[in-house]
Amino acid sequence: MAAITASMVSELRQATGAGMMDCKAALTETGGDIEAAVDWLRKKGLAKAAKKAGRVAAEGLVGIAVSGTRGVVVEVNSETDFVARNEQFQELVRSVAGVALGGNGDVEALKNAAHPAGGTVQEAVANAVATVGENMTLRRVGLLNVSQGVVASYMHNSVGDGLGKIGVLVALESSGNAEALQAIGRQVAMHIAATNPQGLDGNSIDPAIVERERAVLADKARSSGKPEAVIEKIVESGIKTFFKEVTLVDQPFVHDSSKTVAQAVNEAAKAAGAPIVLKGYLRFGLGEGIEKETSDFAAEVAAAAGGNA
């Protein structure tokens, strides 16, 4: 067998756009034959996938899988919402979430994990790209677990079991009744889906964000003529108000605005029969943070017609 060199891998990557490890595997399987390696990648769907990789995939689905004290949420993107309604794509996302449930929450590890249909998760995504004809990406994965208690979930804009547009997990640590924990956990998850808090509590907010808020509050008080002696008190009061707006535990509970989320969880502990600690949460909103391409349809038509009306 011919030795697989870096230049051979580079040549194959340029020809197909496939990943380095995929190219190395293709060359190994074909004894270093470049043309055969190209065909090998095409059969795997990896070359086709690479050609579509430049297209923005901001649609798709969020998937959730939960088992007792462990839960995961994944985001798999497609180019159009039409594909997201496809049963094959939905089953892909559901299967990826299932694999992620046994993983460590690392997206690269998940891509390289074994897929139930054979091969890796990344190969399963690439095969779907080749079949459907749209770019798809496994964008991210999140994991929550507790030593005892539950991981509750909620899916907003659900299109199927564990699939939708906004997926939320809530980790509650407690020795209390699991059914009662699931009930309050789901309510808190629904709250998170609606309010999208920036953090669990004040300590989880980026200090830079807090300092920026302090600076804004101080400048505002100073510009209104407040004496320096009272500005600090005004700033501290403003920070408390800020935390009530952006931190989960301090937000007014959407199911009963007369109490905070923390108070609602403490009250639920009575029904559960044991104290409840809100350990953490994850909220995945489909496509958040992805810069979507915008286009002027009229301009595209005019350009296609050579600019003539």
The pLDDT of residue 66 is 97
pLDDT at 301 > cutoff 50: no
pLDDT above 90: percentage of residues in the chain:
60
Highest mean pLDDT: which range of 52-61, 130-139, 164-173: 164-173
Residues ≥6 apart with Cβ < 8 Å to 61: 75, 76, 78, 84, 89, 90, 93, 159, 163, 164, 165, 286
Question: CA 181, CA 71: separation in Å to the nearest integer?
Answer: 15
Mean pLDDT of 2-27: 80
Residue with tokens 């003529």: 225
Name the band, by pLDDT with cuts 50, 70 and 90, for residue 48.
low
pLDDT above 70: percentage of residues in the chain:
88
> Taking the domain 206-246, which CATH number applies?
1.10.286
Domain ranges of the chain: 6-52, 59-201+247-285, 206-246
Name the band, by pLDDT with cuts 50, 70 and 90, for residue 76.
very high
Mean pLDDT of 80-105: 94
pLDDT at 307 > cutoff 50: no
Global pTM? Answer: 0.75
Give the CA dihedral 195, 91, 114, 117, nearest 10 degrees. Answer: 180
The pLDDT of residue 308 is 43
CATH architecture of structural domain 59-201+247-285: 2-Layer Sandwich (3.30)
Mean pLDDT of 115-129: 92
Q: Which fold would CATH assign to domain 6-52?
A: Helicase, Ruva Protein; domain 3 (1.10.8)
Name the band, by pLDDT with cuts 50, 70 and 90, for residue 289.
confident
